[in-house]
Structure 1
Amino acid sequence: MEQPLRIALISEHASPLATLGGVDSGGQNIYVAHVARCLAQAGHQVDVLTRRDSATLAPSVDMRPGARVIHIPAGPSEFVPKEQLMAHMPEFAHGTRTLMEHSMPYDLVHANFFMSGMVAQRLKRTLGLPFVITFHALGLVRREHQKEADAFPIERLEIERQLVHDADAIVSECPQDSDDLTRLYGADPERMAMVPCGFDPAEFRPMNRAQARTKLGLDPHEFIVLQLGRLVPRKGIDNVIRSLAHLPPDMPVRLLVVGGDDREPDEARTPEIARLRSVARESGVAARVSFVGHRSRDELREYYSAADVFVTTPWYEPFGITPLEAMACGTPVIGSDVGGIRYSVRDGETGFLVPPHEPAALAQKLEHLQANPSLARAMGRAGIRRARSLFTWERITRELVDVYREVCERRRESPPPWLQRPRLVSPTGTALAR
């Protein structure tokens, strides 16, 4: 029987304990939380290292037996936008190294996002720890689409190139991610493994649509289009709103926009709501759009199940977890023909793929689904099968463990020369030792 691994998951800005739905809280938080839990459930020892962003946080928090979150002081103990965190990464790296010198010895580090990669890179150089990296988003791709709106410093691009060169393994999340890493960053295919994101089948599964609508107070006769996730411009929610203007005036359609910083939609706290409401008014569809506000994870299944279709048309998407959640609930998905959505959604089978900036094309697919409820039901069933067969977190974690073990085996077979010096990690463990 193979020995369990001791893994440090670094996620500097995306804590698995964070409230989801804010500007900097989304798919990466979900990814880290579920990977950590599944690794621990499989018998591995996992620490998630994240930045201490509140003075009230305990130094460490147990997620479940075998998995805990450790808060590393770096910068002020308050929220800092991720675009402004690079200056605090040396302090984060120093705190992480100090922790590791007095804690259990890890087999490897799995860095999430490029700034976590910066920390892992230093740990490899000082402690000899191999590291795996999942970028979750690439600076060159972000800059291509967001242009001057991209607030990350230009140094990010060279840092990512160095990380691609130094990482022991790179986890891409979809074929497009693999292509971008190879084409834009010169990644070595021999050190790349494609492992997608996932969903929890205990959390997201079908429920009766009529019951879901009754519970949510929704009209049983409307064709309900659901948009759910972070409210930021790149998610293309304005495209979904504009598509409503291309639908027949007598079509009984309602768009639900779920997300934001507060349970009640607050334009002051979530300025994107104000912008999107303005788009709805200018498009003449304000009466067809309902902003719901933030909802907790345990409420989302009801919204997915109540909808006739889930729509997500971002400009680009490294992967996108919400389409999986919708599919798992038996709801057809219309998504942008980009990134991970192109991989998770099977065009014509589990939903439709459309160009990201063409509201008329989206409207055509919405009208087609509304006119063909039997097709929508068939797509929903196909989505359930596809999600369950390929995208459960349990399966994704098994694939990650295969990557981890390959990295550890390569390191044992060919240790670099500088690994011959004594390790700095205590073999017995003190301080935060288990």
Structure 2
Amino acid sequence: MRLAMISEHASPLASLGGEDSGGQNVYVAELARRLGEMGHQVDVFTRRDSKLLPEVVPFAEGVRVVNLTAGPARSVSKDELFPFMGEFRDAFYRFAKEEAAAYDLVHANFWMSGWVACEAKRDLGLPFAQTFHALGEIKRREQGDADTSPLERRAVEQRILNEVDLVLATCPAEVEELTTLYDADPSRLTIVPCGVDQRAFRPVDRDAAREMLGLSGGPTVAYVGRLVPRKGVDTLVEAFALLPRRLDARLVIVGGEPGGSPEAARLAALAGDLGVSERIAFAGSRPQEDLRHYYCAADVAVSVPHYEPFGMTPLEAMACATPVVGARVGGIKTSVADSETGYLVPPRDPESLASRLLHLLSNPALRDRMGRAARCRIEEHYTWERVAALAAAAFSEVAVSHAYKTA
């Protein structure tokens, strides 16, 4: 198949860890890469955010990244991008015409890309599949007046669900949200989870990882991810402060904007107020290739967001054979097998989190058993090869059905 993958704000070429770069960038990059390895031709369309970027960048076998001019060639917050989507659509049309690209299917990522896909279905007759990555209705419910999404988002998401050929939901929780909040047609929903590169994220000796990172002995808890309020890192800091000092535990927080951020400053101030600053290390933004060592150096990894459409970092930790304490939200409540590969706790509940951390940090044999089970769960359910195979089968069914209907 020849696929047009649209990801307007999340480029596979972007460095990770910023406010608008994270799981979607990884998803698009890894899914495109694995589809290319399967023999499909994939063009990933994203918005040019630098004048230095060429229009077409070879990315992997069978995969190109196409940087379309839509708005200023600089970084723009994703919540300010919708006014440029008409320009993005027109640039996509021009590229497809100039390349004589007969795409079999469009795979849209995020709601603005879905708007472009709706337009392309109307104007070019291209079928499309959609991965939302996050839903406006959930974001509005969780953030209230702090939600900065454009007013058009909810209506566009509804249009997508009315016109889409297939939605790739990442977990059962998303299926429930789509059917109850948007009245989505269940027959056009299929579950294709996110994945993890089990070769890049693999177990290494804990002592060796700690030595490489300059970490001393003692139980270690790790958080890896963006530093934004909804990720619940403040809950983790509060829980960490409840742990008995006799444990001599440390917390390592990996992530955040280069040069710091208001959220990092807020968390550091909270740690100071709680008297645990000396036991918390802020490692800042780290390259992807370094993350494995942080997961492997940790006795436990924590991911307790207020809400989370899927959650990639628990998979990375589990692939490194590190047990995870995760919030019982979104995809995390499916990917983390409670009492088998870690524990699930309510979001915004530092007492429950502290209780589970204390139990795990006090039981090395339990941690080892859960870590082994976590790695096995990844190998069985969450490799990118499996994800790409599921996606390709779904895409093929849509493309074949469309070809039959239009023949």
Same structural fold, with TM-score higher than 0.5 when normalized by the shorter chain:
yes
| 1:254-308 deviation per Cα after TM superposition (whole angstroms, max 9, x unaligned) | 110001222xxx33xx221111111111222212211001110111111110000
Of 252, 273, 285 in structure 2, the residue corresponding to residue 256 of structure 1 is: 252
Q: 1:187 — aligned with what? A: 184
Whole-Å separation in 1 of the counterparts to 2:255 and 2:288: 11
Secondary structure, aligned partner of 1:250: helix
| 1:148-175 deviation per Cα after TM superposition (whole angstroms, max 9, x unaligned) | 1110122201110110110000010000
Secondary structure, aligned partner of 2:245: coil
Whole-Å separation in 2 of the counterparts to 1:69 and 1:412: 26
The structural deviation recorded for 1:249 is 2.5
Whole-Å separation in 2 of the counterparts to 1:327 and 1:381: 9
Contact 2:300/2:361, CA 8 A, preserved across alignment: no
The structural deviation recorded for 1:253 is 1.0
Q: 1:423 — aligned with what? A: none
1:301 aligned onto 2:283: no
Of 334, 340, 348 in structure 1, the residue corresponding to residue 339 of structure 2 is: 348
Of 277, 280, 283 in structure 2, the residue corresponding to residue 292 of structure 1 is: 283
Whole-Å separation in 2 of the counterparts to 1:249 and 1:307: 18
* 1:178-217 correspondence runs (5 A): 178-217=175-214
Whole-Å separation in 1 of the counterparts to 2:120 and 2:186: 24
Q: 1:166 — aligned with what? A: 163
Of 348, 355, 365 in structure 2, the residue corresponding to residue 357 of structure 1 is: 348
Q: 1:431 — aligned with what? A: none
The structural deviation recorded for 1:212 is 0.5
Q: 1:242 — aligned with what? A: 238
1:414 aligned onto 2:402: no
Letter in 2 for 1:233: P
Whole-Å separation in 2 of the counterparts to 1:287 and 1:101: 59
Of 109, 112, 134 in structure 2, the residue corresponding to residue 137 of structure 1 is: 134
Of 3, 11, 16 in structure 2, the residue corresponding to residue 15 of structure 1 is: 11
Q: 2:324 — aligned with what? A: 333
Q: 2:312 — aligned with what? A: 321
Please give the TM-score of this superposition, normalised by the length of structure 1. 0.92
Secondary structure, aligned partner of 1:17: coil
Q: 1:82 — aligned with what? A: 78
Q: Give the total of aligned pairs.
A: 406
Whole-Å separation in 2 of the counterparts to 1:250 and 1:202: 36
Q: 1:97 — aligned with what? A: 93
Secondary structure, aligned partner of 1:70: strand
The structural deviation recorded for 1:365 is 0.4
Of 170, 175, 193 in structure 1, the residue corresponding to residue 172 of structure 2 is: 175
1:405 aligned onto 2:396: yes
Whole-Å separation in 2 of the counterparts to 1:155 and 1:280: 39
Letter in 2 for 1:302: H
Contact 2:327/2:333, CA 8 A, preserved across alignment: yes
The structural deviation recorded for 1:412 is 2.3
Letter in 2 for 1:154: L
* 1:12-91 correspondence runs (5 A): 12-91=8-87
Letter in 1 for 2:347: P
| 1:403-422 deviation per Cα after TM superposition (whole angstroms, max 9, x unaligned) | 1011112212323xxxx8xx
Q: 2:147 — aligned with what? A: 150
Identity of aligned residues (%): 50
Letter in 2 for 1:253: A
Whole-Å separation in 2 of the counterparts to 1:395 and 1:6: 20
The structural deviation recorded for 1:250 is 2.1
Whole-Å separation in 2 of the counterparts to 1:127 and 1:331: 47
Secondary structure, aligned partner of 1:349: coil
Q: 1:277 — aligned with what? A: 268
| 1:291-339 deviation per Cα after TM superposition (whole angstroms, max 9, x unaligned) | 0011101111111100000001000111011101100100000000000
The structural deviation recorded for 1:371 is 1.1
1:128 aligned onto 2:125: yes
Letter in 1 for 2:128: F
After alignment, is 285-294 or 168-177 more displaced?
Answer: 285-294
Secondary structure, aligned partner of 1:157: helix
Whole-Å separation in 1 of the counterparts to 2:4 and 2:107: 6
Whole-Å separation in 2 of the counterparts to 1:152 and 1:321: 22
Contact 2:105/2:399, CA 8 A, preserved across alignment: yes
* Structure 2: gaps (5+ residues): none
Whole-Å separation in 1 of the counterparts to 2:58 and 2:405: 35
The structural deviation recorded for 1:201 is 1.5
Whole-Å separation in 1 of the counterparts to 2:163 and 2:273: 50
